[in-house]
């Protein structure tokens, strides 16, 4: 029984076979897709973390589902344009609903988020189960995607060149635009995330930045949705940025590290999934969570282990919180 | 009283579900072809045991989720519930692996442990790193959930895995509930009700004012952990019917709806339980209508429906209600301003003559004739005035005359107060008085009059109608309307 469930770790099967000739191409596309999803989500996610809006990301990733389902029903196809439009509408609708509930009643923001996204997600799931034959999605796919089949999509041909399967190509475009937009609007995003007051004096319209960010978030999420599903998108949004911010304090370095972490979790995720024979997208997130635990414990700047070691060498707290902490250093604290 | 009868009804229901009866048909969850009309009849006749189990389960989970959800909503911890509910998935999978069947107890233990581990990790991350709570919640939610999904997909790849029904834990299927599940749900619900009733005061104080709770020696941390434990229980028993993904809605939405209806915690807890129950039944009913409809989303939709109604129509905090109150208040103010204008017209001509013409009112209010006609009709509706048949003359009724004088008195008293007591200059006081005249109550007016030594002229040299004379009119019901040719 246990043997059935937990396959033994065979180096060759797990680490070498995925890259052998017959599986190489498929796994390459899976790796690329995972990498692109994690990069695009991670880059946008960094700003969500800075703005303390991680859970709005969670909400939007759930609530684009009815948008996609309705786009399917209306257009009758899995076309790119209706899907984008549906997702964008749903994403903006979520932010608006949260705002309305939060501003127009005594309900606090956290409850407002919880109410808005669960309602929309429920509508999405109901639509999918009612029109299962018309919507090319199933409930499992909604939850954890089907990144394993990404190589089976028809490739995009442009000027006679093979640019890879459609979802990978689309995701690559989105990722490149994300990176370019962050470089172009680096200052605006930075200032409005850290100091809305200063942003206002510099003539940056924080509301516009907010809604652009939300709109772009929905666009990224709808692309990622197909491969990692609604719930795991939140991991792709938050984890790379959170890991990176455990390692450094500078935003440019955090953004760079996000890309590296995305590549690592995608790569090792494929191997983990091969070993355990489980969902590839989930395995990628498990790897990312593992990386976070490593960073949490062993980060040179803020890891628990190094903090402990440093703590022994000097008894004054590194970041004294109050004057009494400095005057009466307590070894336990 | 209501609390006791509610518990009594609950235990009756619980007993009724325990009673075994011969099977009438196959389990509804196993049917593939269904007609919704037949399903409605099956559901409403309660003859099918699986209908009864599903219904009992939905009721029990609705009550316990509403009960505990109230506390997390007022503690602003709504999304902790969300993280907790996703974090139980690996525990469910491991509990399932224990002997590869849906053993409710093993799953219950596994899921509770995983859920509590999740909330502990959230606390650890926020305490030891610079990451904020929302990020920590998101990470735990996604991290635990992905481990759970890995385990679930591994189980599904087992030879026996596909028929296991573990996928029902993702979106919920009330029809899959069995007698053992109901028993467990009943025990947990009773436990939650008992604990909350016994320690109601402690939970209340530590939820709203933890500093005060500390000072009266309530172990706040202990009650926090106790609440988390109960919350984990509630989430776990709801899993099979609502599903991992949407349990948090059953915690948040009914409680938030109740929060809009009342300001008292015990009423909120009661209402939230009722709303939870209603949405549970709603979900169970609709998911029975079709062969593959998941229960959880319908329950959530039911709860959202209740919330939407409360959001718009709650007696005190509803959006429409508040809009209506605001509108009628602004109409009241408009009416009072018209009355005041009529008073001014009458005052300018020394309170003689029969009523006020529309043209005079329009000149006084600096508006068009149409607007004045509309306002005169508002006065008539409020029974402050009668109109001549052609509609171009307004006579105040005794009530209207009294209200007009009160307004003028309030206005002038306030102006006088500002100039004499607050040292405003006389040309700065009008706008302020214009706002406050509508809301000065009798007591404040009496205090003002006393403080101003029952002065009779305002800073602009106009006469202030005294409260005494207005009061006298009210008592004697004498018709002191200038339109009837009497002096003030």
Q: What percent of chain A has pLDDT over 90?
A: 21
Cβ-based neighbour number of residue A5 at 10 Å: 16
Query: Per residue in B360-413, pLDDT tens?
Result: 888 888 888 888 888 888 888 888 888 877 767 888 888 888 888 888 888 888
Residue B371 included in any domain: yes
B384 Cα to chain A: minimum distance (Å): 35
pLDDT over 90, % of chain B: 26
> Any CB–CB contact under 8 A between B388 and chain A?
no
> How large is the average pLDDT for residues A309-330?
56
B311 and B349 in a common domain:
no
pTM higher than 0.90 for the full model?
A: no
Residue B56 lies in a domain: yes
Of B286, B317, B348, at which residue does a domain stop? Answer: B317
Question: Residue B163 pLDDT > 70, yes or no?
Answer: no
State the average pLDDT over residues A18-45.
85
Mean local confidence (pLDDT), B136-160: 86
A145 vs B contacts (CB less than 8 Å): none
In a domain, B83, yes or no: yes
Residue B241: CB atoms within 10 A of its CB come to: 32
Check B150 against A276: CB less than 8 A apart: yes
Distance from CA of A117 to the nearest CA of B (A): 9
Distance CA B469, CA A333 (A): 73
Closest approach of chain A CAs to the CA of B300, in angstroms? 6
3-state secondary structure A247-286: HCCCHHHHHHHHHHHHHHHHHHHHHHHHHHCCCHHHHHHH
Instruction: Confirm or reject contact between A3 and chain B (CB < 8 A).
Output: no
pLDDT computed for residue A288 by the predictor: 93
Q: B103 and B224: one domain? A: yes
What HEC string does A82-129 produce?
A: HHHHHHHHHHHHHHHHHHHHHHHCCCCHHHHHHHHHHHHHHHHHHHHH
| pLDDT band, residue B271 (cuts 50/70/90) | very high
Å between B327 CA and nearest CA of chain A: 16
Distance separating alpha carbons of residues B124 and B321, to the nearest angstrom = 44
What confidence score (pLDDT) does residue B478 get? 46
Same domain, B363 and B478: yes
* Structural domains of chain A sorted by starting position, each given as residue range(s) with its CATH number in brackets: 24-152+164-311 (1.10.3470.10)
- Say if B323 falls within a structural domain: no
Q: Is residue B322 part of a domain?
A: no
Mean pLDDT over B222-239 rounds to 90
Closest CA to A37 of A150, A152, A137: A150
Interface of B with A in 15-44 (CB under 8 A): none
Rounded distance between C-alpha atoms, residue A301 and residue A244, angstroms? 11
- What is the total residue count of chain A? 333
Which chain B residues touch A115 with a CB distance below 8 Å? Answer: 249, 252-253, 256, 304, 307
Query: Which member of B79, B139, B251 has the closest CB to residue A242?
Result: B139
Is B309 an 8 Å CB contact of chain A?
no
Do B311 and B335 lie in one domain? The reply is: no
What is the pLDDT, as a whole number, of residue B121?
92
Domain boundary among B283, B317, B351: B317
Domain boundary among B273, B297, B317: B317
Q: Give the per-residue pLDDT at B474.
A: 58
Q: CA-CA distances (angstroms) from residue A52 to A262, A317, B132?
A: 21, 27, 7
Q: Are residues B297 and B418 in the same domain?
A: no
Query: A220-257 pLDDT, tens per residue?
Result: 888 888 778 877 788 889 999 999 988 888 888 999 99
A164 band by pLDDT with thresholds 50, 70 and 90: confident
The neighbouring-strand residues paired with B29 are: none
How many beta carbons lie within 10 A of that of residue B324, not counting itself? 12
ipTM field: 0.85
B452 touches chain A (CB under 8 A): no
Q: Look up the CATH number of the domain holding residue B130.
A: 1.10.3470.10
Quick one: average pLDDT of B462-470?
A: 79
B154 touches chain A (CB under 8 A): yes
Binary contact (A119, B253; C-beta < 8 A):
yes
**How near does any CA of chain A get to the CA of B13, in Å?**
29
Considering the domain architecture, whether residues B281 and B404 belong to the same structural domain is answered as: no
Domain identity same for B304 and B446 = no
Label residue B26 by pLDDT band (50, 70, 90): very low
Q: What is the pLDDT of residues B404-423, one digit of tens each?
A: 888 888 888 888 888 888 88
pLDDT range class, residue B258, cuts 50, 70, 90: very high
- Does A302 sit within 8 Å of B138, measured CB to CB? no
> Cα separation of B34 and B27, whole Å?
12
Residue B392 belongs to domain with CATH number: 1.10.10.10
Q: How confident is the model at residue A318 (pLDDT cuts 50, 70, 90)?
A: low
Task: Return the CA Rg of chain A.
Answer: 22
Residue B396 is predicted with a pLDDT of 84
B189 and B238 in a single domain? The answer is: yes
Q: Residue B19's pLDDT is what?
A: 44
Averaged pLDDT of chain B: 82
- Identify the pLDDT of residue B50: 78
Q: Provide the chain B residues 75-134 that lie in CB contact (below 8 A) with chain A.
A: 76-79, 81-82, 86, 97, 100, 125, 128-132, 134
Residue B399 and residue B309 share a domain: no
Q: How many domains does chain B have?
A: 2
Confidence of residue B481 (pLDDT cuts 50, 70, 90): low
> Is the confidence at residue B24, as pLDDT, over 70?
no
B312 and B339 both lie in a single domain: no
pLDDT in tens, B285-304: 888 887 777 888 899 999 99
CB within 8 Å: A239 and B139: yes
Cα distances (angstroms) measured from residue A29 to each of A22, A75, A165, A233, B137: 13, 28, 8, 19, 31
Q: What is the pLDDT of residue A43?
A: 93
Secondary structure (DSSP) of A155-176: EEEETTEEEEEHHHHHHHHHHH
269-308 in A: which are within 8 Å (CB) of B?
Answer: 272, 276-279, 281-286, 288-289, 292, 296, 302, 304, 307
User: Taking CB atoms and an 8 Å limit, are A130 and B290 in contact across chains?
Assistant: yes
Q: What is the pLDDT of residues A282-304, one digit of tens each?
A: 899 999 999 999 998 888 777 78
Is B115 within a domain? yes
Give the domain extent around B297: 2-317
Q: Is residue B465 part of a domain?
A: yes
Cα–Cα distance, B97 to B77 (Å, whole number):
32
Q: What is the pLDDT of residue B65?
A: 93
- What digits encode the pLDDT tens for the residues B438-461? 888 888 888 888 888 888 888 888
Tell whether B304 and B372 lie within a shared domain.
Answer: no
Say whether both B54 and B106 belong to one domain. yes
């Amino acid at each position: 029984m246990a043997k059935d469930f937990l396959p033994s770790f065979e180096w060759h099967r797990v680490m070498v076979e995925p890259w052998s000739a017959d599986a190489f191409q498929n796994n390459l596309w899976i790796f690329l897709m995972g990498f692109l999803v994690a990069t695009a989500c991670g880059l946008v996610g960094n700003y969500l973390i800075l703005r303390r809006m991680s859970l709005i990301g969670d909400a939007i990733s759930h609530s684009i589902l009815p948008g996609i389902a309705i786009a399917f029903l209306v257009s009758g196809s899995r076309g790119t344009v209706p899907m984008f439009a549906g997702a964008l509408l749903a994403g903006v609708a979520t932010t608006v609903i949260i705002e309305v509930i939060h501003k127009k009643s005594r309900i606090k923001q956290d409850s407002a988020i919880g109410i808005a996204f669960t309602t929309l997600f429920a509508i999405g799931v109901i639509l999918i189960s009612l029109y299962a034959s018309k919507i090319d999605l199933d409930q499992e796919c909604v939850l954890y995607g089907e990144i394993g089949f990404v190589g089976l999509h028809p490739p995009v041909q442009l000027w006679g060149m093979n640019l890879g399967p459609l979802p990978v190509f689309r995701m690559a475009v989105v990722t490149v635009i994300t990176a370019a937009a962050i470089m172009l609007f680096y200052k605006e995003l930075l200032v409005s995330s850290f100091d809305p007051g200063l942003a206002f004096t510099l003539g940056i319209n924080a509301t516009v930045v907010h809604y652009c960010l939300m709109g772009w978030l929905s666009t990224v999420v709808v692309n990622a949705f197909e491969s990692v599903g609604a719930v795991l998108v939140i991991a792709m949004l938050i984890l790379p940025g959170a890991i990176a911010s455990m390692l450094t304090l500078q935003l440019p370095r955090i953004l760079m590290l996000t890309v590296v972490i995305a590549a690592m979790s995608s790569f090792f995720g494929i191997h983990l999934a091969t070993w355990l024979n489980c969902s590839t997208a989930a395995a990628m997130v498990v790897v990312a969570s593992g990386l976070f635990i490593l960073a949490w414990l062993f980060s040179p700047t803020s890891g628990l282990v190094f903090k402990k070691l440093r703590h022994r060498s000097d008894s004054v707290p590194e970041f004294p919180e109050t004057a009494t902490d400095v005057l009466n250093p307590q070894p336990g604290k | 009283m209501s609390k006791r009868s509610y518990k009594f009804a609950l235990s009756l229901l619980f007993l009724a579900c325990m009673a075994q009866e011969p099977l009438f048909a196959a389990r509804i969850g196993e049917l593939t072809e269904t007609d919704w009309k037949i399903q409605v009849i099956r559901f409403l006749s309660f003859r099918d045991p699986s209908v009864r189990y599903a219904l009992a389960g939905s009721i029990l989970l609705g009550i316990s989720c509403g009960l505990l959800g109230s506390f997390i909503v007022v503690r602003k911890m709504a999304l902790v519930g969300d993280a907790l509910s996703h974090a139980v998935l690996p525990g469910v999978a491991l509990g399932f692996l224990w002997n590869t069947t849906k053993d409710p107890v093993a799953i219950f233990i596994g899921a509770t442990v995983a859920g509590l581990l999740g909330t502990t990790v959230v606390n650890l991350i926020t305490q030891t790193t610079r990451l904020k709570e929302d990020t920590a919640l998101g990470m735990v939610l996604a991290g635990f959930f992905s481990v759970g999904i890995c385990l679930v997909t591994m189980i599904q790849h087992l030879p026996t895995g596909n028929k296991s029904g573990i996928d029902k834990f993702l979106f919920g299927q009330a029809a899959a509930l069995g007698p053992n599940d109901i028993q467990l749900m009943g025990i947990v619900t009773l436990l939650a009700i008992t604990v909350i009733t016994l320690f109601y005061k402690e939970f209340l104080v530590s939820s709203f004012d933890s500093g005060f709770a500390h000072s009266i020696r309530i172990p706040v941390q202990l009650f926090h952990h106790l609440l988390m434990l109960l919350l984990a229980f509630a989430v776990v028993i709801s899993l099979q019917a609502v599903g991992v993904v949407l349990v948090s809605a059953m915690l948040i939405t009914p409680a938030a709806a109740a929060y809009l209806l009342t300001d008292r915690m015990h009423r909120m807890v009661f209402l939230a339980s009722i709303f939870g129950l209603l949405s549970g039944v709603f979900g169970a009913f609709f998911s029975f209508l079709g062969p593959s409809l998941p229960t959880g989303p319908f329950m959530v939709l039911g709860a959202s429906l209740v919330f939407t109604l409360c959001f718009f129509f709650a007696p005190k905090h509803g959006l429409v209600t508040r809009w209506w109150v605001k509108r009628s208040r602004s109409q009241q103010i408009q009416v009072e301003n018209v009355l005041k204008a009529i008073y001014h017209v009458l005052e300018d001509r020394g309170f003689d003559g029969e009523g006020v013409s529309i043209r005079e009112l329009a000149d006084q209010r600096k508006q068009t004739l149409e607007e004045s006609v509309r306002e005169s009709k508002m006065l008539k509706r409020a029974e402050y005035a009668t109109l001549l048949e052609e509609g171009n003359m307004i006579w105040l009724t005794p009530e209207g005359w009294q209200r007009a004088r009160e307004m003028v008195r309030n206005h002038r008293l306030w102006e006088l107060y500002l100039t004499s007591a607050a040292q405003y200059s006389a040309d700065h006081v009008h706008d302020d008085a214009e706002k406050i005249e509508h809301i000065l109550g009798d007591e404040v007016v009496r205090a003002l009059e006393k403080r101003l030594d029952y002065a009779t002229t305002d800073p602009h040299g106009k006469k202030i109608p005294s409260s005494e004379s207005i009061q006298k009119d009210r008592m004697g019901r004498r018709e002191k309307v200038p339109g009837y040719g009497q002096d003030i």
